[in-house]
Amino acid sequence: MTTQQDFYDNIDGALTPEQAAQAYALAATGDTSAELENSGVPATTTATEEGKGDDGEAAEQAKGEASKGGAEAGTGEEGIDPSKAVVLARDGKHTIPYERLEKARQGEQHWRAQAEAAQQQLSELQAQAQARADAGQAPTTTDNMVAKAEAAIEAGVDASLFGDFSEEALAAGIQKLVEQQVQARVNQALAPLAQKQQQEAATDHYSAIYGKHPDADSIAQSSEFEAWVNSQPSVVRNAYLGLFDPQTGGTAEQIIEVFDAFKAATTPQKSETSAANNKGAASAAVANAKAEPPSSLSSIPGGRAAGSNALDATSDMTGLEMMAATQHMTPQQLEAWLNRTV
């Protein structure tokens, strides 16, 4: 074992974080070996207090060492800066800034002191209430609030809800507790209605999808749909996949749009040019099938040309028809007709 002076005499240059931690340990013990234990790593001990973690234990150790050795640990006029000191963690590999551990320790002490003060205040209020009850006095407003707070804590309510257990803190805590209980009862009463609304919304959601795409299930599970989605740009693909996520699924309208786009991209469409050509060919065939009107008597099977005047028209008449046609002729017309027909 050597003295502190021997320890510092063996150090050449600035202290390493491990050596700084060893210096704190040196100040606490008063001596150390010439060589750092465990390759320059200060030894650690197992926490004996339940719930005390690495940070709390290391902070307590570092604070004690810093308070005792801060004035002694130095070479010449230069001492160790506590703000730059570190403490080796339990794993023996990493270091923890002393300042962080100190803040954690102070925070733990603060809240522990708050809890102890609140518990002491509660105990005093309980004792006062019990004394009044033993004396046959009626409980005060504070006594009643303390009883309510005590019952709530025994039922599992966090004691911090009642703050420091002053009359104001008790009143505020009880008010919050009542509001929580009322809200819980309201939520319980509305739960069936909310569940029904969710079921109706889900029914409407799927009804809209199946109404437009009865084959929605087979589409969503098909390898063709998967391949089509994967062929999209990443930003579009991720958006499509997000619509089918159970937690963040899209609306019925959005899913319908995706299925519409899938079918439009994968279903063969008839060519508009081909349809137009077919329509043109059909029109031409109908036009060719129409018979042209006859231009002469010979163009009509069994037909004959009509006369250019009344006299010519009688050439194809029967005897009775001729008599009727010539009945109103003048003598000159009748003679001309006879000369033509003879």
The predicted model gives 12-27 an average pLDDT of: 57
Q: Which range is most confident: 156-165, 228-237, 273-282?
A: 228-237
> Cα-flanking dihedrals φ and ψ of residue 113, to 5°?
-65, -40
Question: Is residue 78's pLDDT more than 90?
Answer: no
Q: Is the CB of residue 64 less than 8 Å from the CB of residue 25? A: no
pLDDT confidence of residue 315: 64
* 17-21, 51-55, 140-144, 236-240: the lowest-pLDDT one: 51-55
How many residues can be counted in the chain? 342
Please give the pLDDT value at position 21.
58
Q: What is the 3-state secondary structure (H, E, C) of the chain?
A: CECHHHHHHCCCCCCCHHHHHHHHHHHHHCCECCCCCCCCCCCCCCCCCCCCCHHHHHHHHHHHHHHHHCCCCEECCEECCHHHCEEECCCCCCEEEHHHHHHHHHHHHHHHHHHHHHHHHHHHHHHHHHHHHHCCCCCCHHHHHHHHHHHHHHCCCCHHHHCCCCHHHHHHHHHHHHHHHHHHHHHHHHHHHHHHHHHHHHHHHHHHHHHHCCCHHHHHHCHHHHHHHHCCCHHHHHHHHHHCCCCCCCCHHHHHHHHHHHHHHHCCCCCHHHHHHHHHHHHHHHHHHCCCCCCCHHHCCCCCCCCCCHHHHHHHCCHHHHHHHHCCCCHHHHHHHHHHHC
Distances from the Cα of 245 to the Cα of 214, 260, 285, 316, angstroms: 20, 19, 57, 93
State the CB neighbour count (10 A cutoff) for residue 152. Answer: 18
Dihedral angle of Cα 241, 242, 246, 248, to the nearest 10 degrees: 180
Specify the higher pLDDT residue, 56 or 11: 11
First to last CA, the chain: 171
What distance in Å separates the CA atoms of residue 329 and residue 334, rounded to the nearest whole number?
A: 6
β-pair partners for 88: 95
Cα(148)–Cα(42) distance, rounded to whole angstroms?
A: 51
Residues 6+ apart with CB under 8 A from 317: 325
Q: 289 or 34: which carries more pLDDT confidence?
A: 289
pLDDT band of 30, cuts 50, 70, 90: very low
Out of 55-64, 184-193, 254-263, 323-332, least confident range: 55-64
Encode pLDDT of 186-200 as tens digits: 888 888 888 888 888
The predicted pLDDT at position 97 comes to 80
